[in-house]
């Protein structure tokens, strides 16, 4: 991927996000994490190469199919993208309304989710009156409320304290247990260590994927020398 005639920001990437998997995406600032998430969300097109979704080549999706596909994906953007003419409650309920659900059927779920992210008292205010961390939690609640098939989150805990960060990670882990495929970009390695998940690591536009901790430990027990060599080869500057 390149922007305009600029240099390649991502190159030689090839990977699958297996259905129901959970992965972290890490890498230094400017490594291309947001660009990769934008490709995955189909908000940007690869300059060359192919992305396929649920077995379909993304380039072949029609104008009608694209919004339908996006409804199956929940996204937490770095800049939140909340609607300021709607209350916090209505921002979170928006994906359900778009999906044709009735207010009386979802009101309780939305209120419960907002209470879980610590915003039970702020349901009726507009997002502009909230702090950055509170707005981030509204964006997260909106992304997860419809139990999307895929959740893409760009630094979803960037503006909250460590305790809330762990709470949000638990929310993502619960969603993953219900079957949602999750990819979370983060600089926060303490978050990464909390889950036994694979870590996709970007550096200078290249990607490498580190297996989950338990898998690496099992390998180390089975073949200690090979595992040590592999670990040395995969060591990255951010861990």
Ligand X SMILES: Nc1ncnc2c1ncn2[C@@H]1O[C@H](COP(=O)(O)OP(=O)(O)OP(=O)(O)O)[C@@H](O)[C@H]1O
Whether the Cβ atoms of residue 2 and residue 49 lie closer than 8 Å to each other: no
**How far is it, in rounded angstroms, from Cα 184 to Cα 12?**
21
> Phi and psi at residue 172, in whole multiples of 5°?
-65, -40
**CB closer to ligand X out of 100 and 237:** 237
Whether the Cβ atoms of residue 134 and residue 159 lie closer than 8 Å to each other: no
| Residue 202 burial (C-beta neighbours within 10 Å; 0-12, 13-18, 19+) | buried
Per CB under 6 A, the segment of 23-31, 57-65, 82-90, 108-116 that binds ligand X is 23-31
Out of 5, 6, 48, 64, name the contact with ligand X by CB under 6 A. 6
- Locus of tokens 């550096």: 203
**CB closer to ligand X out of 6 and 55:** 6
**CB closer to ligand X out of 114 and 152:** 152
Size of interface with ligand X, in residues (CB under 6 A): 11
If one asks whether residue 3 binds ligand X (CB under 6 A), the answer comes out as yes
Out of 23, 26, 34, 181, name the contact with ligand X by CB under 6 A. 34
Out of 14, 29, 84, 221, name the contact with ligand X by CB under 6 A. 29
Per CB under 6 A, the segment of 1-9, 103-111, 210-218, 221-229 that binds ligand X is 1-9
181-185 β-sheet, strand order: 73-76, 150-154, 181-185, 22-26, 199-203, 206-210
If one asks whether residue 33 binds ligand X (CB under 6 A), the answer comes out as yes
Which residues here bind ligand X, judged by CB under 6 A?
A: 3, 6, 9, 27, 29-35
């Amino acid at each position: 991927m390149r922007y305009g005639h600029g240099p390649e920001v991502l190159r030689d990437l090839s990977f699958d996000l297996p259905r129901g998997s959970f992965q972290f995406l890490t890498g230094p600032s400017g490594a291309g994490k947001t660009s990769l998430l934008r490709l995955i969300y189909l908000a940007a097109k690869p300059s060359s190469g192919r992305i396929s979704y649920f077995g379909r080549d993304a380039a072949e999706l029609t104008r009608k199919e694209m919004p339908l596909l996006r409804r199956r994906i929940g996204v937490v953007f770095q800049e939140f993208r909340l609607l300021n003419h709607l209350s916090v409650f209505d921002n979170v309920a928006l994906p359900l309304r778009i999906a044709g659900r009735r207010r009386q059927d979802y009101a309780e779920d939305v209120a419960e989710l907002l209470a879980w992210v610590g915003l039970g008292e702020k349901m009726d205010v507009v997002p502009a009156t909230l702090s950055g961390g509170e707005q981030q939690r509204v964006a997260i609640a909106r992304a997860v409320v419809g139990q999307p098939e895929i959740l893409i989150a760009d630094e979803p805990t960037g503006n909250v304290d460590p305790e809330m960060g762990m709470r949000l990670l638990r929310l993502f882990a619960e969603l993953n247990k219900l079957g949602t495929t999750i990819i979370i970009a983060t600089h926060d390695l303490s978050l990464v260590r909390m889950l036994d998940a694979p870590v996709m690591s970007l550096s200078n536009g290249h990607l490498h994927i580190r297996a989950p901790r338990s898998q690496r430990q099992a390998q180390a027990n089975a073949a200690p020398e090979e595992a040590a060599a592999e670990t040395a080869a995969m060591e990255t500057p951010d861990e």
